[in-house]
A and B are shown apart, each in its own frame.
Chain A
Amino acid sequence: MTRPGLATVPARVPLRRLREGSRPRRTRRGLLADVVTWAAPAGVGVALAIGAVGPLIRLLTQAGWAPPGAPGHLFVVAALLLVLGGLAQLLRSAGPVTASSAFWFWLLSAPVRRRDLLRRRYFALLAVTAVLVCAVAGLVAHTGSVPVLPAVAAAALAAVALAAGTVCGQVWEMADHAGHVAGQAIRAAGVLAFGSLATGVGRADLNSALRAPPGVAVIALEALAVTAVACCAAGYRALDRIDVSVLRRGQGLWTAGHVAVASMDVFMLTEFLADQRARQAGRVRPMRMGAPFAAVLARSEWARLRRRPYLAVRAAAAAAVWWGCRPMLHGPALAAVAVIAGYCLVLPMAGTLRQLAANPGLRAQFTPRDRWLSLTSLAVCLLASAVWTAVVMPGLGGGTALASLLTAGLTAAAYRTATRPPLDYTGPLVPTPFGDYPLDLWRQVFRGPLLLAVITAGAIAITAR
């Protein structure tokens, strides 16, 4: 008997039955058609997984790629610190336990224990985080010629602790603040470790200190395991305290990420992030534009750059990391990393180009001098490419040919990516298991990354000579 004003809390099993009963029932023929459609990709996936077993065993048992005498332990710790710091920031921005609008609208308003609804998402978050970090840690440990299993175990435990800790941060402000500071400290420690690798300051001492005896490594792993279990339990208990406003916080980022992946357009995500930053910025100090028009163009680009100081910090960190990788990687691999890192740094400079290309209305405002705006943005990209080339060239060798390729190629790749017109789906369609696919779509989507691949191949070829 329910007292007036109180709703009964439905039991878990009938609720599950109700949810399952609401799903449309499939006919046997429909089910068969689905199985046939998915059979081919599933077969390819299984074959790839079987094929990967051998290389994986070799990865776990054989020596890595680092040259003899390289400071592999310091490299692995530095790289894992950066990975974990980045993970902490990503999880904090994205939620990490989040819910789609349909989910929170229909289910979270129901009088059901919130932990029952969120439990599956929480465990999925922990599992996915652990698996992804394991894969990266395995690759990093192999690159540094360090025993793979302890490195993977330590990284996975730390990642699980971080993920569970950020769930606590969703509920308790103090935990969120602590997580933010910890994430920044981990990233800074990673960059400093790469700085030590690059400059040689304290490199030998740190490397030998990190080569811990087996007993110490086991104690460290046990401590990490205890921390991870404690964080997981605290995170699980926190699920009941998560409210809808918190669950919605990361939804925008997830949606932007989902749209960016679905439309294969990274700017969908970066524009969302820029929008968020602009909302947080509130008021800024406007710059006097003055005259003539050429000076106005330069001032407008300077105003944009001045409002994104994190780009300079990111570039400095990238330079430290690249130079830190130098004792570990061979010439062609270093060249590939230089090209891809350069592309990631130059692309955000092409914001004006991107906005003009994506918004005909904005371009029309500035007609007929919209081209000058595009050219100014391109000049900024060229300048950024030249600076990055100047930073990495002393470590690469390769002479004028490689320097020209890097400077011109990075600018061209950023230009191609930024000026991608809205996607055109009107070409001929090819049937795939995932639906009809416009044949011309891949060329439109990859117009920038394809050029980047060509430039990377060119840089590898030059450095391998």
Chain B
Amino acid sequence: MPLLAITGLRRSFGEAEVLSGIDAEVRSGEAVAVVGPNGSGKSTLLRCVAGTDRPSAGTIRLCGQPVRERDPRMRRSVAAVLDDVEFFADLAVAEHLALLMSAHGDATPDAHAAGLLDEAGLAGAADQLPAGLSSGQRRRLALVTCFARPRLLVLLDEPEQRLDQAGRRWLTGRLLAEKREGRGVLFASHDRGLVKAVADRVIDLGAAP
């Protein structure tokens, strides 16, 4: 059984049909890339899978169950970075991450948070408040929050945005590790290098409507 199964997905905004009959699936240990020009519906597809947007028609199933954003089990299984992620303004980067890991049952959150920050190249920013981070550092932190929690499926919308070369290398390695650890990855990207290095299959949404 696929981890994620999308069947006949349609999404319209008024008369404009953004997604017309998308069929796709993501299996455990597999990465699927969504590519296409601006306005082709990549973000809309990811939002429908995350349950933050409602499709006009079609079904989305996670582990055989229909996706419902209100279902805590579903939210626990999916880690997503779709838009700009917010952080607690008064907590340092390390504190925010440790709080997140503790909320997901980690008994030693400080050590694990430090390890993750080091891996993401954010060790030097551990004692900074999120407002003081650069946009690239904020992007890294958003991605780290995604990898710091239990998950079966990772959803990422253009994760390479605002990352420097070192950041892109870290992201590539991290996504490959996700695959090795048996998780599914569905990501939209304009970075051919990232798609080539990580994706097992590609969904091409073609031209913008």
Closest residue on chain B to residue A351 by CB atoms: B90
- CB neighbours (8 Å) of B110 from chain A are 288-290
Q: Does A361 contact B (CB under 8 A)?
A: yes
- CB neighbours (8 Å) of A297 from chain B are 99
Interface string of B94-132 (1 = CB under 8 A from A): 110011101111011110000000000000001111111
In the complex, which residues 292-344 of chain A have their Cβ closer than 8 Å to any Cβ of chain B? Answer: 293, 296-297, 300, 303-304, 307-308
**Extra pairs beyond A359-B86, A366-B100 (19, CB < 8 Å):** A275-B89, A278-B129, A278-B132, A284-B127, A287-B95, A288-B110, A289-B99, A293-B102, A293-B105, A296-B99, A296-B102, A300-B99, A303-B90, A303-B91, A304-B88, A352-B88, A362-B88, A364-B80, A367-B75
Determine whether the beta carbon of B90 is less than 8 Å from that of A308: yes
Q: Does A17 contact B (CB under 8 A)?
A: no
Q: Does A27 contact B (CB under 8 A)?
A: no
- CB neighbours (8 Å) of A283 from chain B are 127-128, 132
Contact of B91 among A293, A304, A360 (CB under 8 A): A304
- CB neighbours (8 Å) of B85 from chain A are 361-362, 365
Shortest distance from the beta carbon of A377 to any chain B beta carbon, whole Å: 11
Determine whether the beta carbon of A289 is less than 8 Å from that of B109: yes
Determine whether the beta carbon of B100 is less than 8 Å from that of A355: no
Q: Does B43 contact A (CB under 8 A)?
A: no
Determine whether the beta carbon of B98 is less than 8 Å from that of A296: yes
Please name the 10 residue pairs, one residue from A and one from B, whose CB atoms are nearest each other, closest first: A278-B131, A289-B98, A368-B72, A304-B90, A278-B129, A367-B75, A359-B86, A286-B92, A296-B102, A369-B103
Determine whether the beta carbon of B95 is less than 8 Å from that of A282: no
- CB neighbours (8 Å) of B107 from chain A are 291
- CB neighbours (8 Å) of A465 from chain B are none
- CB neighbours (8 Å) of A304 from chain B are 88, 90-91
- CB neighbours (8 Å) of B91 from chain A are 300, 303-304
Number of A-B contacts (CB under 8 A): 108
Question: When chains A and B are docked, how far (Å) is the Cα of A361 from the Cα of B86?
Answer: 7
Determine whether the beta carbon of A368 is less than 8 Å from that of B76: yes
Known: A289-B109, A367-B75. A274 touches B127 (CB 8 A): no
- Count A interface residues, CB 8 Å: 40
Determine whether the beta carbon of B95 is less than 8 Å from that of A362: no
- Count B interface residues, CB 8 Å: 39
Question: When chains A and B are docked, how far (Å) is the Cα of A452 from the Cα of B110?
Answer: 40
Shortest distance from the beta carbon of B80 to any chain A beta carbon, whole Å: 7
Determine whether the beta carbon of B103 is less than 8 Å from that of A362: no
Determine whether the beta carbon of B127 is less than 8 Å from that of A367: no
Question: When chains A and B are docked, how far (Å) is the Cα of A352 from the Cα of B107?
Answer: 23
Determine whether the beta carbon of A361 is less than 8 Å from that of B89: no
Shortest distance from the beta carbon of A419 to any chain B beta carbon, whole Å: 16
Q: Does A425 contact B (CB under 8 A)?
A: no
Question: When chains A and B are docked, how far (Å) is the Cα of A149 from the Cα of B85?
Answer: 55
Closest residue on chain A to residue B89 by CB atoms: A274
Determine whether the beta carbon of A360 is less than 8 Å from that of B76: no
Question: When chains A and B are docked, how far (Å) is the Cα of A376 from the Cα of B59?
Answer: 38
Determine whether the beta carbon of A291 is less than 8 Å from that of B102: yes
In the complex, which residues 362-404 of chain A have their Cβ closer than 8 Å to any Cβ of chain B? Answer: 362, 364-370, 372-373
- CB neighbours (8 Å) of A28 from chain B are none
Closest residue on chain B to residue A360 by CB atoms: B52
Q: List 5 A-B contacts (CB under 8 A).
A: A274-B89, A289-B99, A290-B109, A355-B89, A370-B103
Closest residue on chain B to residue A372 by CB atoms: B103
Q: Does B164 contact A (CB under 8 A)?
A: no
Interface centre among A300, A360, A361 (most CB of B within 10 A): A361
Known: A279-B132, A289-B98, A360-B52. A355 touches B126 (CB 8 A): no
Closest residue on chain B to residue A295 by CB atoms: B102
Determine whether the beta carbon of A279 is less than 8 Å from that of B131: yes
